[in-house]
Chain A
């Protein structure tokens, strides 16, 4: 772990150069989304007979957006930056000439991805709190939930990047057929029960849906412990399986 901390430090040093812009984005994004969806769209939805979750739309959508943003941050950090470190800036190569090994390089980078998710989710959570959408003290636990969701995506997408990506255009498919549909259909904006069979089943299997459900239970203060442990467990499995795969692919890719 001490060695992983050294590669983690590299990513922090790098982040130091851009953190202002990154934090500004993390504040502006949720404000825009909540204004448009919660206040704009919400005023329409709230008049409808079938309000999702039987709460005001802004309360419904805020935790969904929170979780989806965590996914997007993790996806962004685990795609191009990893490929760049392998083949464009070749930072992994630089590290491999030092006492650091593949495991340290992999863990250090994952740690950083999770850190980025932690920072942006904390800001996101503060913004949705300011919009009055948190109705339970359990809401603070949405932060570790986001971190767990970030770890699930960080490792799984790292596996995709190290296993599949060579030129970078492979990420178009990942975002077009993976991230964007998940963002739209995994319970962020409306309950997956509105989807036709079998799409609703697919939605229920996505890690994002479990992240959304968990965050929503926590901010609304209404879930059952069992269900929430189930969501957390599912995300943990994704993290472990994704991590094991990614580690294997890191090895295959970097040990030549």
Chain B
């Protein structure tokens, strides 16, 4: 089966009554790849993940997951997936270990094997010390790690992660990223959603940008930045009223200017040059920042809105 994609979707649609959550999307996920859905709230990421996870039936479209048909073979597909839902579904009254054991039982795994497996997984996500504590008092980051450990109990061929680090502090996020990165190195295929551009850049080999149920762009993070943005960005903030964008044109060097409520972004290949030129013109700013373009800029360019509002 080498070469056939893990997930193959064409014209996928999900409607909730009159609301179109997923509006005819096409994508393929290849084996061993980390594939991301990047998009703002309500873009349709979770709806898509639930369809791929064979939890929610699509309203229309073609879908193959692991070369099987989700409608006919949902249970067989789910047996090979690991799911980290956006909202945790841990049982807070059971212990950390029990949560993994019972979840493994849902997959029909033998109790004896599960004991060992649970210990390994808890070690992997650094929760061994909490193994016999109830889940209830765990921190958000610990619960997320436990959910990830739990999703690995059946040695899944694909891991579906819906916003794996939303709501975590930076340290907790880095720990999760590190574990996901290791899984990737071990050859796991990851499909994840996020509205953090840094997460998408760190983890995804390839991603699609979703907005309003549609895919508006597709590529590797670098490709997307090259295609839809410039190399660098100058961010200007102003104490008083900002100047008209036209006044900020530094001839031949400025590709595009975006005015946001709190700042102005100047897209250019040479940020330092533009910043210096503006300074020489005597422009009064409260701060000037020259940075590299990110997926945030790609999103802004594609949709006219920022990703995290």
A interface residues with partner B (beta carbon < 8 Å): 2-3, 6-7, 9-10, 13-14, 17, 89-91, 93-101, 255-256
Contacts and interface: CB of A to CB of B under 8 A. Distances in A.
Interface string B70-82: 0000111011010
Interface in B99-131: 101-103, 105-108
A12 B109 CA distance: 17
A14 B91 contact: yes
Nearest to A256: B56
Interface in B239-290: none
B78 A89 contact: no
Given A6-B108, A90-B89, A99 B78 contact: yes
B15 to A, nearest CB: 11
Contacts of A7: 106
Given A6-B106, A13-B98, A256-B16, A99 B76 contact: yes
Given A6-B105, A9-B105, A101-B74, A93 B85 contact: yes
B106 A14 contact: no
B93 A97 contact: no
A86 to B, nearest CB: 11
Contacts of B98: 13
Given A14-B94, A89-B92, A97 B85 contact: yes
B93 A99 contact: no
A100 B74 CA distance: 9
B57 interface: yes
B171 interface: no
A82 to B, nearest CB: 15
Contacts of A97: 53, 55, 78, 81, 83, 85, 89
Nearest to A91: B91
A-B pairs, 5 with minimum CB distance = A94-B89, A98-B106, A97-B83, A99-B75, A90-B89
A178 B78 CA distance: 40
A134 B253 CA distance: 98
Interface size range of chain B in the complex: 20 to 34
A105 to B, nearest CB: 10
A3 B105 CA distance: 10
A95 B57 contact: no
A93 B89 contact: yes
A132 to B, nearest CB: 40
B292 to A, nearest CB: 38
25 contacts: A3-B75, A6-B108, A7-B106, A9-B102, A10-B102, A10-B105, A10-B106, A14-B91, A89-B89, A89-B92, A89-B93, A90-B89, A93-B55, A93-B85, A93-B87, A94-B89, A95-B106, A96-B55, A97-B81, A97-B83, A97-B85, A98-B79, A99-B79, A101-B75, A256-B50
A98 B107 contact: yes
A95 B107 CA distance: 10
Which of A10, A98, A101 has the most chain B CB atoms closer than 10 A to its own CB? A98
Nearest to A254: B55
A100 B106 contact: yes
A14 B55 CA distance: 24
Which of B78, B81, B102, B106 has the most chain A CB atoms closer than 10 A to its own CB? B106
Contacts of B56: 255-256
A2 B74 CA distance: 17
Contact of B89 (A2, A13, A91, A256): A91
Given A10-B102, A13-B94, 4 more contacts: A13-B101, A94-B89, A97-B78, A97-B89
A75 to B, nearest CB: 21
Contacts of B93: 14, 17, 89
Contact of B108 (A10, A13, A99, A255): A99
Nearest to B88: A90
B103 A94 contact: yes
B83 A90 contact: no
B106 A99 contact: yes
Nearest to B47: A256
B134 to A, nearest CB: 9
Given A97-B85, A99-B108, A13 B78 contact: no
A225 B274 CA distance: 97
A96 B106 CA distance: 10
A78 B179 CA distance: 40
A239 to B, nearest CB: 26
A10 B91 CA distance: 10
Given A13-B98, A256-B56, A98 B91 contact: no
Given A9-B102, A100-B106, A90 B16 contact: no
A6 B102 CA distance: 8
Nearest to B57: A255
A247 B75 CA distance: 18
A43 to B, nearest CB: 45
Interface string B53-76: 101110000000000000000111
Contact of B91 (A3, A6, A89): A89
